[in-house]
Structure 1
Amino acid sequence: MFTGFFVILLCKDYLATNVSTFFLSHCTEGGKVEGKSKSLGSGRSMDIFLGIPFADAPGTFEKPRPHRGWDGILQATDYKPRCLQLNLVMTDTIGSTDCLYLNIWVPHGSSVSAGLPVMVWIYGGGFLVGGSMGANFLDNYLYSGQEIADRGNVIVVTVGYRVGTLGFLSSGDSGLPGNYGLWDQQAAIAWVHRNIRSFGGDPGNITIFGESAGGASVSFQTLTPHNKGIIRRAISQSGVALCPWGINKNPRKFAEEVAQKVNCPTDNRMAACLKMADPGALTLAGTISLSGSPDNPIVFNLILSPVIDGDFLPEDPSHLFHNAAEIDYIAGVNDMDGHIFTALDVPSINSDLISTPIDDVRRLLGAYTKEKGTVGLNNAYSTYTSNWGSNPSQETIKKTIVGVGTDYIFLVPTQAALYLHADHATTGRTYSYLFSEPNRMGGLITPYPSWMGADHADDLQYVFGKPFTTPLGYWPSHRRVSGAMISYWTNFAKTGDPNNGGSSVPVNWPTFTRSAPKFLEIHSDMDNNYVQQKMRMPYVNFWTRILPSLPTVVSE
Structure 2
Amino acid sequence: MKMAVLGILAVLGLFTSAAHAASLGAVYTEGGLVEGKNHGVGLFRYMDVFKGIPFAAQPGRFQKPTPHPGWNGVLKANDFPKRCLQLDLIQSGTRGSEDCLYLNIWVPQGRSISTGLPVMVYFFGGAFLVGGSMGANFLNNYLYSGEEIADRGNVIVVTVNYRVGTLGFLSTGDSELPGNYGLWDQQAAIAWVHRNIKAFGGDPNNITIFGESAGAASVSFQMLTPHNKGLIRRAISQSGVALCPWAVNRNPRAFAEEVAKKVGCPTDQRMAACLKMTDPFELTLAGTLNLKGSAANPIVKNLVLSPVIDGDFLPADPSTLFGNAADIDFIAGVNDMDGHLFTGFDVPSINRPLQSTPVEDVKTLLTALTSDKGAEAAAAAYDQYTATWGAQPGKSDIKKTIVEIETDYTFLVPTQTALYLHAKHAKTGRTYSYLFSEPSRLPLYPSWMGADHADDLQYVFGKPFTTPLGYFPKHRRVSKYMIAYWTNFAKTGNPNIGEFEVPVAWPPLTQGDQYVDINSDTGKNSIKQKMRARYVFFWSDTYMSYPNVN
TM-score of the superposed pair, with normalisation by structure 1: 0.95
Code of the residue aligned with 2:372 in structure 1: it is E
Q: Distance in 2 between matches of 1:308 and 1:215?
A: 18
Q: Is the 8 A contact 1:196 1:202 kept in 2?
A: yes
Corresponding residue number in structure 1 for 2:548: 552
Corresponding residue number in structure 1 for 2:52: 51
Q: Is the 8 A contact 2:18 2:44 kept in 1?
A: no
Q: Is the 8 A contact 1:35 1:50 kept in 2?
A: yes
Corresponding residue number in structure 1 for 2:458: 461
Cα deviation, residue 552, structure 1: 2.4
Cα deviation, residue 528, structure 1: 1.3
Corresponding residue number in structure 1 for 2:533: 537
Corresponding residue number in structure 1 for 2:62: 61
Residue aligned with 2:479, SS: helix
1:188 has 2:189 as partner: yes
Corresponding residue number in structure 2 for 1:504: 501
Q: CA RMSD in A?
A: 1.1
Q: 1:489 aligns with which of 465, 474, 486?
A: 486
1:528 has 2:529 as partner: no
Code of the residue aligned with 1:189 in structure 2: it is I
Q: Distance in 2 between matches of 1:103 and 1:370?
A: 43
Corresponding residue number in structure 1 for 2:382: 381
Code of the residue aligned with 2:541 in structure 1: it is R
Code of the residue aligned with 1:503 in structure 2: it is F
Q: Is the 8 A contact 1:17 1:110 kept in 2?
A: no
How many residue pairs are counted as aligned between the two chains?
Answer: 534
Corresponding residue number in structure 2 for 1:428: 429
Q: Is the 8 A contact 1:17 1:111 kept in 2?
A: no
User: Stretches of 4+ moved more than 6 A in 1?
Assistant: none
Corresponding residue number in structure 1 for 2:335: 334
Q: Percent sequence identity over matched residues? A: 70
Code of the residue aligned with 1:523 in structure 2: it is N
Unaligned runs of 5+ in 1: 1-15
Q: Distance in 2 between matches of 1:314 and 1:494?
A: 31
Corresponding residue number in structure 1 for 2:152: 151
Cα deviation, residue 18, structure 1: 4.2
Q: Distance in 2 between matches of 1:519 and 1:213?
A: 23
Pairing of 1:131-530 with structure 2 (within 5 A): 131-441=132-442, 444-445=443-444, 448-513=445-510, 516-530=512-526
Q: Distance in 1 between matches of 2:42 and 2:128?
A: 39
Corresponding residue number in structure 1 for 2:112: 111
1:20 has 2:20 as partner: yes
Q: Is the 8 A contact 1:19 1:112 kept in 2?
A: no
Code of the residue aligned with 1:544 in structure 2: it is S
Q: Distance in 2 between matches of 1:527 and 1:77?
A: 41
Q: Is the 8 A contact 2:24 2:200 kept in 1?
A: no
Corresponding residue number in structure 2 for 1:3: none
Q: Is the 8 A contact 1:91 1:284 kept in 2?
A: yes
CA spacing shift, 1:192–1:17, aligned 2, 3 Å: farther
CA spacing shift, 1:84–1:25, aligned 2, 3 Å: closer
TM-score of the superposed pair, with normalisation by structure 2: 0.96
Residue aligned with 2:272, SS: helix
Residue aligned with 1:387, SS: coil
Q: Deviations over 1:70-98 (max 9, x none)?
A: 00000100001000000011100000000
Residue aligned with 1:370, SS: coil
Q: Distance in 1 between matches of 2:409 and 2:92?
A: 30
Q: Distance in 2 between matches of 1:191 and 1:344?
A: 39
Cα deviation, residue 506, structure 1: 0.4
Q: Is the 8 A contact 1:19 1:111 kept in 2?
A: no
Residue aligned with 1:104, SS: strand
